[in-house]
C-alpha cells in the first residue's frame, strides 16, 4: 500500500516545517535551500521511482534518482539520489508506508545492538530498538552493494563531496542505522579511495537506542 500523493505532499510540508525549526541547531553548511532539498528527498522516497515525475518536488529539488531498494522482509525502503548542484549523494530512507512498516515500529523492545556491522562491536550493554535494527539490517543488504558501487564508479563530473543519509520518522531511524552500517566499510580494501564520511540529517526521528549505544 503506497502512500497517496496528497499524503506525500502533507508529509513534505511537515518535514520542511520541522527543518526550519531546527535550523539554529545546525551548522552553517545546512542552508534553508539544502535542508529543503533533503526534506524533498525524504518526501520523494515515499514514491516509486516511476511516479516521482508526477511530484513537483522532483523538479524543484534538482535531484536525480539513481536507484531504489526495498527489503522484502520488513518492506523498508530507500532511494539514492544524485544532487549534482552540490556534488553529493543523498540516501533517503522511506518512512512508514504500509502495515508491515507499522509492525516494525511496534517492535520497540530494546535488544542488544549486535547486528550493526561494527568492528570493534558496540559495548555489551548497548541496546537498540528491535524493529529498527531488523529493518536496517535487511535494508542495508539491499542498499549497500549498489551504493558502494556508485561511490567506486564516481559517476559525477566532479568528485562526490558528501554522502548524506536522511529520512522521516521510521526512515529517520533506518537512515541513521544504515549510516552506521555504511561507516563499517571505510576499512574495506576496495573502498579506501571511495569512502566518504557520512553526514546524517533526519526529520521527526524516534528514539532508537539507549545511552550506551548513543555514546558509542
β-bridge partners, 166? 92, 201
The pLDDT tens digits for 100-129 are: 999 999 999 999 999 998 878 889 999 999
Q: Residue 29 — very low, low, confident or very high, per pLDDT cuts 50/70/90?
A: low
The residue count for the chain: 216
pTM for the structure as a whole: 0.86
For residue 138, pLDDT over 90 is answered with yes
The pLDDT tens digits for 182-196 are: 999 998 988 988 999
The mean pLDDT value for 37-42 works out to 96
Helix ranges, 23-129 (H): 32-44, 56-61, 99-106
- CA separation (Å) from 106 to 45, 170, 196? 22, 11, 33
β-bridge partners, 199? 164
Q: 161, 88 in Cβ contact below 8 A?
A: yes
Average pLDDT of the chain? 87
CA 215, CA 195: separation in Å to the nearest integer? 23
The pLDDT tens digits for 197-206 are: 999 999 999 9
Q: 90, 156 in Cβ contact below 8 A?
A: no
The pLDDT tens digits for 50-95 are: 999 999 999 999 999 999 999 999 999 999 999 998 999 999 999 9
Amino acid at each position: 500500500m503506497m502512500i497517496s500523493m496528497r499524503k506525500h505532499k502533507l508529509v513534505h510540508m511537515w518535514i520542511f516545517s520541522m527543518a526550519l525549526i531546527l535550523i539554529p541547531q545546525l551548522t552553517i553548511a545546512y542552508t534553508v535551500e539544502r535542508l529543503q532539498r533533503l526534506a524533498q528527498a525524504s518526501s520523494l522516497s515515499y514514491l516509486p521511482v516511476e511516479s516521482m515525475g508526477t511530484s513537483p518536488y522532483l523538479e524543484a529539488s534538482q535531484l536525480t534518482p539513481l536507484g531504489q531498494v526495498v527489503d522484502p522482509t520488513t518492506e523498508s525502503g530507500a532511494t539514492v539520489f544524485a544532487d549534482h548542484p552540490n556534488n553529493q549523494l543523498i540516501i533517503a530512507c522511506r518512512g512508514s508506508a504500509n502495515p508491515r512498516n507499522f509492525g516494525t515500529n511496534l517492535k520497540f523492545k530494546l535488544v542488544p545492538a549486535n547486528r550493526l556491522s561494527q568492528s570493534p562491536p558496540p559495548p555489551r550493554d548497548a541496546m537498540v530498538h528491535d524493529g529498527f535494527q531488523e529493518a536496517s539490517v535487511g535494508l542495508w543488504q539491499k542498499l549497500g552493494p549498489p551504493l558502494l558501487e556508485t561511490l567506486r564508479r564516481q559517476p559525477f563530473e566532479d568528485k562526490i563531496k558528501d554522502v548524506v543519509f536522511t529520512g522521516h520518522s521510521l526512515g529517520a531511524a533506518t537512515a541513521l542505522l544504515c549510516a552506521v552500517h555504511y561507516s563499517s566499510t571505510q576499512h574495506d580494501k576496495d573502498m579506501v579511495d571511495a569512502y566518504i564520511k557520512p553526514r546524517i540529517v533526519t526529520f521527526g526521528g524516534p528514539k532508537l537506542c539507549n545511552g550506551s549505544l548513543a555514546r558509542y
